Amino acid sequence: MWDWNNIWSWWGGMAMMMLWMVAFWGGIIALAIWVVNKLTGREAPRPGGLERRDPLEMAKERYAKGEISREEFEQIKKDLS
């Protein structure tokens, strides 16, 4: 027969088992997400937004697009060197 005096320890065991199952499946899901991100080459966004670019490369792009004149480009090159 059941030992009704020990029913709370049974419920405690059930609660622990449920917590372990949630932790187990949560870990499996987190691991799967991590593996997919590694295989697809996607990374988390870096703090500060966009990657830092070389200022001279940015000036070259602006000059190529016609956003700045040759004199402005030469001045930027001189300032950066």
At 11-69, the pLDDT tens digits run 677 888 899 999 999 999 999 999 998 888 776 666 666 667 789 999 999 999 999 99
Domain with 59 in it: 51-81
More confident residue, 33 or 8: 33
Separate counts of helices (H) and strands (E) for the chain:
3, 0
Does 39 lie in the same domain as 15? yes
Residue 4 in this model has a pLDDT that exceeds 70: no
Does 34 lie in the same domain as 4? yes
Does 62 lie in the same domain as 39? no
Q: What is the pTM of this model?
A: 0.43
Does 1 lie in the same domain as 39? yes
Length of the chain counted residue by residue: 81
Does 55 lie in the same domain as 38? no
Does 57 lie in the same domain as 29? no
pLDDT at 2: 57
Give the CA radius of gyration of the chain.
30
Does 6 lie in the same domain as 32? yes
Does 3 lie in the same domain as 36? yes
